[in-house]
Amino acid sequence: MKTDYAALGKQALERLRATCRRADEVQRELLSDILNKNKDTEFGRKYGFSEIESAADFQKKVPLSEYDDYADDILRIVDGGENILTAENPVYFCISSGTTGDEKFVPVTGGDVEIQYLYDYGLVFGAVREYYGGMDETEIFGKIFQVGEFGKTFMDDGRIKGIRSGCVYLCADRFAGFDASDYCVPKELLFPGSLEDQLYLKLRFALAERDLTAIHGVFINRVAGVMDYLLQNWDMLLNDMETGTIDEAVELSEAQRHHFAGMLPPDPERALELREIPLDRPLYGVIRKIWKKMKYILAIGGKSFPYFTEKIMEYAGDVPICHYAYAASECVFGVTEKMNVPDRYILFPEAVFFEFIPVKEPHKILTMPEIDTGAKYEIVFTSRSGLYRYRLGDVVEVVGWFGKAPVVKYSYRINQAINIAGEKTNCEQLSTAVKCFSEITGADVTGYCVCEDHSGLVPRYLFYIECSDNDTIANAGEILEECMKNANFDYRSCESMNEIAPLKLAFLRTGSFQRYEKKLAGTGKPMGQNKLLHFLDTDEKKEFFARQILKKENSL
């Protein structure tokens, strides 16, 4: 083990606790520092940063903003422009996940990367170390199975671009040479030259590693997908391990096949050991049966991923899950409050300068010391990377406090609401309706998405659902319709006035969402880093899922 994970985690935890105890002061200091450093930029001169002495001054002088307000400036920065939004030049360009529109570049400065490294990367190890109390750190930290990959992609001038979760890894490798010796896969799989699915290879290396202590992912649906692939292809993987071959059905180039075959020698002893594991359902605790030293799983789950969270909890058994971060393409804002507890994130005061718009009083804008437990707020932030008073579009609920820093749970994203007739259905309400449908019917919903349907005289919602037992669900459309009415009273009201027609439900063929993810990978987008798709906002997405439906449809 080259990296001292225990020391890094301890440093991050101590700093988190210290800054959260004085969160209001840290927030003031951060805003002052951002303004002072950038007062001579084009943006800073335009809005008089040198004259701002308080948060109130800042709010008076600088308007609220969204991405389009920066689009032209960011293009200039991409083309090599300097001192436009920040005095510090960006070292990385983050690409949005693409689930709510076209890809957009977000510049990231070195100072931003350093904060992400400490809190998004380092803090995890502190949480794990604390969870296991007096256990020796050599038993806690061993080999890591990173289920995702960080493809080396660059802007025209050589600066790095990629997803937010890859920022720390790619920057560390560029500027210091990332030490991948603690990961179970070779470095060329962790940092591939192209974005393609290499899950088979990663699992071969992971299965061969007896001392695996951690599985790292981003979103929990990807980790569940990896485990599903492992269990579905169990015999093939073990046969190949036993003989030191790669099955012809695995899609690899001849160069890759030859290269990695030499790195995966026959291991009949390990194959025999794994064959003795019973794989009869239920599969509770199967992860620790495969890797006896497993200590934790790192993946963002919770109410936004209910089906996959439950599945991984079954596979994990008593192995804790660290739902490590609340983040977006623009920044990392929150860190998990504790191990094995989803949907509770500390908004750490060194992340950004936070402002909050109360959902019930949208004319107000509050700072961190002014918000209340139990209330919901739209997040506004100012970052080290040149986004000022930026409306993220996320609504969170304050559920507690860590020192003077709020602990929040994500509620919904404002710009993901469907709004045919003023009903403004958001992601949280759709999730509630689908969960209700699952509970009433007993069906396991593995994925769903929705769009507006204007094919009739009155518009309606078109739901696509992938689930088990769809052939045996009677009156499925009526059940989902009633669940939708209960989830959103305004939806019920609009339908009663014939402003919205009863919804249409179409069942998808098994594996539809996996095929969509593979389609994304084929266009160069990294697999596993995409949040679950719930809104079909382009013709391309709508056409893809329309081709996945079963013949049987359920509409009212």
Query: Read out DSSP for 375-386?
Result: -EEEEEEE-TTS
Domain count of the chain?
2
The pLDDT value given to residue 215: 97
Identify whether 355 is part of a domain: no
Q: What is the dihedral of CA 112, 114, 115, 117, to 10 degrees?
A: 120
Identify whether 183 is part of a domain: yes
The H or E element spanning position 309 is helix 306-316
Identify whether 125 is part of a domain: yes
Identify whether 345 is part of a domain: no
Residue ending a domain, choose from 292, 322, 352: 322
3-state secondary structure of 460: strand
Are 318 and 428 contained in the same domain?
A: no
Q: CA-CA distance, 466 to 550, in Å (whole number)? A: 10
DSSP string, 311-369: HHHHHHTTS-EE--EEEETTEEEEEESSTT--S-EEE-TTS-EEEEEESS-TT--B-GG
Nearest-CA neighbor of 21 among 31, 10, 13? 13
Identify whether 106 is part of a domain: yes
Q: Which domain holds residue 26?
A: 5-322
Are 450 and 314 contained in the same domain?
A: no
Residue ending a domain, choose from 293, 322, 351: 322
Identify whether 382 is part of a domain: no
The pLDDT value given to residue 398: 98
Identify whether 392 is part of a domain: no
Identify whether 336 is part of a domain: no
Nearest-CA neighbor of 128 among 8, 289, 278? 8
Residue ending a domain, choose from 322, 354, 379: 322
DSSP string, 162-180: E-GGGHHHHHHHHHT----
DSSP string, 225-282: HHHHHHHHTHHHHHHHHHHT---TTS---HHHHHHHHTTS---HHHHHHHHTS--PSP
List the pLDDT tens digit at each of the 556 positions of the chain: 578 999 999 999 999 999 999 999 999 999 999 999 999 999 999 999 999 999 999 999 999 999 999 999 999 999 999 999 999 999 999 987 433 345 689 999 999 999 999 999 999 999 999 999 989 999 999 999 999 878 778 888 889 998 888 899 999 888 888 888 999 999 988 888 765 568 899 999 999 999 999 999 988 888 988 998 999 999 999 999 999 999 998 888 888 888 888 899 999 999 999 999 988 878 999 999 999 999 999 999 988 777 788 889 999 999 999 999 999 889 999 999 999 999 999 999 999 999 999 999 999 999 999 999 999 999 999 999 999 999 999 999 999 999 999 999 998 888 677 888 778 788 888 988 999 999 999 988 988 999 989 888 788 999 999 987 777 788 999 999 999 999 998 898 888 877 789 999 999 998 898 888 888 776 665 544 455 678 887 888 899 999 999 865 444 4
Structure tokens at 469: 């037992």
Q: 412 pairs with which residues across the strands? A: 395
DSSP string, 41-89: SHHHHHTTGGG--SHHHHHHHS--B-GGGTHHHHHHHHTT--SSS-SSP
Are 304 and 439 contained in the same domain?
A: no
